[in-house]
C-alpha cells in the first residue's frame, strides 16, 4: 500500500511528502481512506477506497444516487474541504 499526500494550501494530491510541486508549500498531510476528493475537470466527487501505485480507486455516487468504483491517477484528483 502506497501513501499519498495532499497540500493543505492548494489541495492537490502528491506522491512526495517533501514539498508541493504546484505551490512550493511545505504544508502537507497524508491522504486517508474515506477522504472526499474531486476529479479535476469534472463535477464528479468521490471517496478514497484504495491506493495502489499511482492509481486511486474511488467510490463515486452520481446524481441518481447510484454508486460505482472507478480508478484515477493521483494527478487528476484534488482534495475536497
Q: Could you give the angle at the alpha carbon of 17 between the alpha carbons of 78 and 9, nearest 5°?
A: 45
pTM for this predicted structure:
0.83
Residue that the C-alpha cell 499526500 belongs to: 5
CATH hierarchy code of domain 5-79? 2.30.30
**Residue ranges per domain, the chain?**
5-79
Closest by alpha carbon to 33, among 14, 47, 16?
Answer: 47
What is the structure's pLDDT at 1?
56
Q: What is the pLDDT of residues 50-81, one digit of tens each?
A: 999 889 999 998 888 899 999 999 999 999 87
Amino acid at each position: 500500500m502506497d501513501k499519498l499526500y495532499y497540500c493543505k494550501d492548494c489541495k492537490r494530491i502528491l506522491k512526495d511528502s517533501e514539498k508541493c510541486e504546484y505551490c512550493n508549500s511545505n504544508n502537507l498531510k497524508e491522504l486517508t481512506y474515506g477522504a472526499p476528493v474531486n476529479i479535476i475537470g469534472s463535477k464528479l466527487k468521490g471517496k478514497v477506497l484504495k491506493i495502489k501505485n499511482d492509481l486511486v480507486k474511488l467510490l463515486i455516487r452520481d446524481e441518481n444516487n447510484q454508486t460505482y468504483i472507478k480508478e484515477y491517477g493521483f494527478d487528476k484528483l484534488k482534495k475536497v474541504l
